[in-house]
Chain A
Amino acid sequence: MTTEPITTEAKKVRNFSLLSNRAGAAFLTPAGLLVSVFVIVPFFWVIFVSFTNRTLLGRTALNPEFVGLANYLALFDPATFFQRGQFGFSLILTTQFVLASALIGQALLGLLLAWLIQTVPPWIKRLTETFVIAAWILPEVVIGFAWFAFLDRDAGTLNMMLNAIGLPSGDFLLDQPFWVIVVFNTWRGAAFSMMLFNSAFSSIPPSYFQAADVAGATSWQKFRDIAVPLIRGHIVTNLILITMWTFNTFTPFLLTNGGPSYRTELVSIYNYRVAFQDFQFGKGAAVGVIMMLINLAFALVYLSIGRKKKAPGT
């Protein structure tokens, strides 16, 4: 602010700024426009729509009225909040889903896998990695259908195996839909945690482990006392990222459609149903606003950690 034009000019010459401010602005324009229209405008538009009674069809589709907090009051109506197919039920279900499938399932399984593949023979490492990563990179609709076939009541691979060892078949999509999507999401996303922890482990100097070996430490001791404390930062980063992704995921819809009877209706699926099947855009927008606020909380924590890490120069 206080620098005179001449100093700025001098600095520019010294740094030999490769791109003038005008060219820089021109270079930023296409990306700036696209991001503004499809990321920043939606953020504010969804807040605006959430205060209206806009619908997809009918009179209020074209002339929505301002309804104040009505949509939020409907979502948080204590009389129905916890009922199946209502917002509260969906929010609690999503919380359980994130806890079980991301924080416990993906993170622990990823940590275990990353630790195991450090020591096993290369061919086992490659084979295990291949399948874990395949589960992660294949398109979601393909994965959804593969699991649909896998869990089929009459002929599915899972029931075939259960029968082979003398256990009765089960219709898991009907009887245990919540646990199905928990296992499904763990399976689908463990690869990311595995790869992140794997690269974290390989950044630890091997001499630490060699010293522990000399002292006769077991694998568990090395894991608990050397590896985990050293990658604590990676663990926090990983937990926040997979929490955000799992909270926003829509993929279970492809396996269960949110059912049976709303038992797998995560907030993303609830948002879809309210807006695009019940055609209540105002209420759907209110759900979107609450989702974004939750995302915002996680993102702020994540970014503040990222900044702290950068500050000392690591």
Chain B
Amino acid sequence: MKFPALFGRIAFSTLAALIGAAFALPLLWFLFAPFNARAELGLAIPDPFTLSNFNTVFGNGFAMQALWNSLIQAVGGVILVGAAATLAAYALSRSSIPGKGAVTYILLLFSSVVSGSAAMVPIFLIISAAGLMDTHLAVILTFAGGLLPTAMFILRDFIDSIPKSYEESAMVAGASPVQAFFDVALPVIRPGIVVIVVWSFVNIWGSFLIPFILLRSSANMPAAVAIYSFYSEAGTPVVTLLAAYSLIYSLPVVALYLFVSWRFGFRFFGGIKA
């Protein structure tokens, strides 16, 4: 009975490889075009291989400004989400506030009901009423509010799994609860914080809809929106610029993914995507 087993293995491997190849196909162009000075929408091996497209991107003020804006918004959002989620998750795990369970349930419910595409009108109106239209802060706050519930749940589960005895012994030794949090708990929670920080960064960095609605001036546009304007408004896309720019813009996401999968295994990265 060895032959059918071997045959089955080959068939499985071939099928898996074929599906993998099918997934790779739409991205192939994207691997070659950035290094081709005459890149068009067709697939072509760069001849000669060149980095001139990247020089063009680095020389383009609007493109570089957009990357910088993405960084401001993602880092701003990450700091807010990281700090607020850590504090809140710690309180949900370690204090005995009445109604904790109900609050958790309601937050979970609201966070899955109020999606960006369903709530674009009220989000626009709130930002507009707050006088924050077309500012980095508008994007930062909106993302922080939207990502916080999920970040809190991931972190609360993480903190629940840490024995209370760490902080208890610190408090027996005379530390105040706040000291026990900052000096004892925080260092232990750090891996959990890293996970939600990476997760929020990738989410804000890659999102299109919220900045597309809330920002107007090119001085504030993040790369996600700037890229889109490169090819839809100019009529014909500036393919060489776009290809190289897309690659640069994707690098942080890929780097963070590799970091998380190396450090924690990729199941952490999955979790729940907003």
Q: B-contacting residues of A (Cβ < 8 Å)? A: 12, 15-21, 23-25, 27-28, 30-32, 34-35, 37-43, 45-46, 49, 109, 112-113, 116-117, 119-121, 124-125, 127-135, 137-150, 152, 154-158, 160-161, 187, 190, 192, 195-196, 199, 216, 218-219, 241, 244-245, 248-251, 254, 257, 268, 271-272, 275-276, 281, 284-285, 288, 291-292, 295-296, 298-300, 302-303
Query: B73-103 interface mask toward A, CB cutoff 8 Å, 1 = contact, 0 = none?
Result: 0000000100111011011101111100000
Across-interface contacts of B113 in A (CB, < 8 A): 43, 292, 295-296, 299
Asked whether B26 lies within 8 Å of A25 as measured between CB atoms, the reply is: no
What is the CA–CA distance of A292 and B111 in the complex, to the nearest angstrom? 11
Q: How far is the CB of B244 from chain A (nearest CB, A)?
A: 12
The verdict on B149 contacting chain A, using a C-beta distance below 8 Å, is yes
Asked whether A272 lies within 8 Å of B117 as measured between CB atoms, the reply is: yes
Q: Which of B102-147 contact A (CB under 8 A)?
A: 105, 107-126, 141-142, 144-146
Q: Is the interface of A mostly helix, strand, loop or mixed?
A: helix
Q: A218: nearest residue on chain B (CB-CB)?
A: B8
What is the CA–CA distance of A62 and B55 in the complex, to the nearest angstrom? 47
Across-interface contacts of B148 in A (CB, < 8 A): 31, 34-35, 39
The verdict on B215 contacting chain A, using a C-beta distance below 8 Å, is no
Across-interface contacts of A130 in B (CB, < 8 A): 20
Q: How far is the CB of B239 from chain A (nearest CB, A)?
A: 8
Across-interface contacts of B83 in A (CB, < 8 A): 30
Asked whether B24 lies within 8 Å of A131 as measured between CB atoms, the reply is: yes
Q: Which of B169-218 contact A (CB under 8 A)?
A: 171, 177-178, 180-181, 202, 205-209, 213
Known: A23-B95, A34-B148. A146 touches B23 (CB 8 A): no
What is the CA–CA distance of A161 and B28 in the complex, to the nearest angstrom? 13
Asked whether B27 lies within 8 Å of A281 as measured between CB atoms, the reply is: no
Across-interface contacts of A158 in B (CB, < 8 A): 25
30 pairs, CB–CB < 8 Å, chain A vs chain B: A18-B177, A18-B180, A19-B90, A19-B95, A20-B177, A23-B178, A27-B88, A28-B91, A30-B83, A30-B88, A31-B85, A37-B141, A38-B123, A38-B142, A39-B107, A39-B146, A42-B119, A46-B121, A119-B12, A120-B16, A128-B23, A137-B202, A137-B254, A145-B242, A146-B26, A150-B25, A250-B116, A275-B120, A292-B115, A303-B108
What is the CA–CA distance of A124 and B250 in the complex, to the nearest angstrom? 24
Asked whether A32 lies within 8 Å of B149 as measured between CB atoms, the reply is: no
What is the CA–CA distance of A249 and B115 in the complex, to the nearest angstrom? 9
Known: A31-B88, A128-B23, A195-B266. A156 touches B41 (CB 8 A): yes
Asked whether B16 lies within 8 Å of A187 as measured between CB atoms, the reply is: no
Asked whether A49 lies within 8 Å of B15 as measured between CB atoms, the reply is: no
Asked whether A119 lies within 8 Å of B168 as measured between CB atoms, the reply is: no
Asked whether A140 lies within 8 Å of B270 as measured between CB atoms, the reply is: no
Asked whether A132 lies within 8 Å of B95 as measured between CB atoms, the reply is: no
What is the CA–CA distance of A46 and B207 in the complex, to the nearest angstrom? 22
Q: How far is the CB of A171 from chain B (nearest CB, A)?
A: 13
The verdict on B263 contacting chain A, using a C-beta distance below 8 Å, is no
Across-interface contacts of B48 in A (CB, < 8 A): none
The verdict on B9 contacting chain A, using a C-beta distance below 8 Å, is yes
Asked whether A38 lies within 8 Å of B23 as measured between CB atoms, the reply is: no
What is the CA–CA distance of A268 and B119 in the complex, to the nearest angstrom? 10
Q: Which 6 A-B pairs have the closest CB atoms?
A: A38-B145, A24-B95, A155-B42, A128-B20, A268-B117, A139-B206
Across-interface contacts of B115 in A (CB, < 8 A): 244, 248, 291-292, 295
What is the CA–CA distance of A133 and B24 in the complex, to the nearest angstrom? 10
Asked whether B40 lies within 8 Å of A38 as measured between CB atoms, the reply is: no
Q: How far is the CB of A285 from chain B (nearest CB, A)?
A: 5
Asked whether B28 lies within 8 Å of A157 as measured between CB atoms, the reply is: yes
Q: How far is the CB of A8 from chain B (nearest CB, A)?
A: 9
Across-interface contacts of A109 in B (CB, < 8 A): 19
Query: B34-77 interface mask toward A, CB cutoff 8 Å, 1 = contact, 0 = none?
Result: 00000011110000000000000000000000000000000000
Asked whether A46 lies within 8 Å of B20 as measured between CB atoms, the reply is: no
What is the CA–CA distance of A270 and B124 in the complex, to the nearest angstrom? 16
Given contacts A276-B124, A303-B108, 12 further A-B contacts (CB under 8 A): A19-B177, A30-B84, A31-B148, A39-B107, A40-B114, A43-B113, A113-B19, A146-B246, A156-B41, A250-B116, A271-B120, A288-B122
Selected contact of B91 from candidates A24, A40, A190, CB within 8 Å: A24
Asked whether A141 lies within 8 Å of B227 as measured between CB atoms, the reply is: yes
Across-interface contacts of B80 in A (CB, < 8 A): 30, 34
Asked whether B109 lies within 8 Å of A299 as measured between CB atoms, the reply is: yes
Q: How far is the CB of B15 from chain A (nearest CB, A)?
A: 6
Across-interface contacts of A142 in B (CB, < 8 A): 30, 227, 246, 249-250
The verdict on B2 contacting chain A, using a C-beta distance below 8 Å, is no
Asked whether A38 lies within 8 Å of B95 as measured between CB atoms, the reply is: no
Most-contacted residue by chain A among B20, B85, B121, B232 (CB, 10 A): B121
Q: How far is the CB of A290 from chain B (nearest CB, A)?
A: 9
Q: How far is the CB of B222 from chain A (nearest CB, A)?
A: 10
Selected contact of A288 from candidates B121, B164, B266, B272, CB within 8 Å: B121
What is the CA–CA distance of A69 and B166 in the complex, to the nearest angstrom? 57
Known: A137-B254, A248-B118, A250-B116. A192 touches B13 (CB 8 A): no
What is the CA–CA distance of A34 and B130 in the complex, to the nearest angstrom? 14
Selected contact of A241 from candidates B16, B177, B272, CB within 8 Å: B272
Query: B230-242 interface mask toward A, CB cutoff 8 Å, 1 = contact, 0 = none?
Result: 0110000101001
